[in-house]
């Protein structure tokens, strides 16, 4: 299968690795490269030749909409439903029936799981193709209700946001917050370390999507998280987030 992937690190690279391991002819376009007109044209051309497109952009809705515009010619598009609902993202495609929402948190590896959400506009054939594609990568596809963040990203990013609030309020240092939650709650990572691994731009995108969708203060992005993203402190992928790498 020819697969074109467009998005940001680390999730887009995770998907590429799985596709290549499964024997797909896969091509990756990072969002930051699409400011170049030639790269954008190359993505649109690759989408026309592909059997499936996977979109992994969660930083901003404007950027996401542009990426989906470039992927519009693909026969089916797996749209990331982390920063907005799959239904909203599907509406930005000329043929919304081709879209299927998906969500996962890095690291994504065989034996893991991916969440699938059907947009209101989804065609059964697109859903079946998406399920077969993710299963072919060695992942278990789980159907969930549509909405920003789906299940895991909604819960984990809210946890990271609350930990950032505790840090901003001087409750404890970043290291102390992570030790308390990792050892005290048996989490795989401390919440601030987890945010750095995911990418703080992804975390902020999810929180903005949840706050816009539900309008509840519990989803309001922490100002410290917003400033870190504004400063380019996105976590491991840039060498600095809540911690330095």
Interstrand relation of 25-30 and 52-56 (parallel, antiparallel or unpaired): unpaired
| CB-based contacts of 173, cutoff 8 Å, min separation 6 | 167
pLDDT recorded at residue 8? 93
Partners of 6 in the β-ladder: 29, 55
Quick count: other Cβ atoms within 10 Å of Cβ 180? 16
Backbone angles phi, psi at 2, to 5 degrees: -90, 120
What CATH number labels 2-143?
3.40.50.720
pLDDT recorded at residue 86? 97
Q: Are 1 and 133 in contact (CB under 8 A)?
A: yes
Q: How far is CA 41 from CA 45, 64, 131, 155, 237, in A?
A: 6, 16, 29, 37, 26
Cα(119)–Cα(86) distance, integer angstroms: 5
Q: Are 28 and 9 in contact (CB under 8 A)?
A: no
pLDDT recorded at residue 67? 97
Cα(151)–Cα(160) distance, integer angstroms: 15
pLDDT recorded at residue 12? 96
List the chain domain ranges: 2-143, 152-238
Q: In this predicted model, what pLDDT tens digit does every residue of 141-194 receive, in sequence order?
A: 999 999 999 999 999 999 999 999 999 999 999 999 999 999 999 999 999 999
Interstrand relation of 2-7 and 113-117 (parallel, antiparallel or unpaired): unpaired
| CB-based contacts of 99, cutoff 8 Å, min separation 6 | 76, 77, 78, 79, 86, 89, 90, 93, 119, 121, 122, 126
pLDDT recorded at residue 175? 98
Residue 152: exposure state from Cβ atoms within 10 A (0-12, 13-18, ≥19): middle
SS3 5: strand
Cα(199)–Cα(56) distance, integer angstroms: 13
Q: Which residue has the tokens 């990331």?
A: 80
For the domain made up of 152-238, give the CATH fold.
Answer: 1.10.1040
> What pLDDT tens digit does each residue of the chain (245 aa) get?
999 999 999 999 999 999 999 999 999 999 999 999 999 999 999 999 999 999 999 988 999 999 999 999 999 999 999 999 999 999 999 999 999 999 999 889 999 999 999 999 999 999 999 999 999 999 999 999 999 999 999 999 999 999 999 999 999 999 999 999 999 999 999 999 999 999 999 999 999 999 999 999 999 999 999 999 999 999 999 999 999 99
């Amino acid at each position: 299968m020819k697969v074109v992937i467009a998005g940001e690190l680390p999730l887009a690279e995770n998907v590429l690795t799985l596709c290549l391991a499964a024997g797909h002819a896969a091509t990756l376009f990072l969002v930051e490269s699409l400011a170049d007109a030639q790269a954008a044209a190359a993505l649109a051309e690759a989408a026309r030749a592909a059997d499936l497109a996977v979109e992994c952009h969660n930083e901003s809705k404007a950027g996401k909409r542009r990426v989906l515009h470039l992927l519009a010619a693909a026969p089916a598009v797996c749209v990331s439903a982390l920063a907005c609902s799959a239904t909203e993202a599907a509406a930005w495609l000329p043929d919304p029936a081709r879209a299927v929402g998906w969500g996962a948190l890095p690291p994504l590896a065989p034996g893991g799981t991916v969440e699938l959400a059907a947009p209101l506009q989804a065609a059964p054939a697109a859903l079946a193709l998406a399920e077969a594609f993710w299963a072919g990568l060695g992942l278990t596809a789980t159907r969930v209700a549509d909405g920003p963040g789906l299940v895991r990203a909604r819960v984990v990013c809210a946890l990271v946001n609350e930990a950032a609030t505790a840090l901003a309020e001087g409750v404890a240092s970043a290291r102390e917050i992570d030790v308390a939650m990792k050892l005290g709650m048996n989490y795989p990572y401390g919440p601030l370390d987890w945010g750095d691994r995911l990418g703080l731009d992804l975390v902020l995108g999810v929180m903005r999507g949840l706050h816009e969708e539900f309008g509840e203060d519990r989803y309001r992005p922490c100002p410290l998280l917003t400033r870190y993203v504004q400063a380019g402190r996105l976590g491991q992928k840039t060498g600095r987030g809540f911690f330095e790498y």
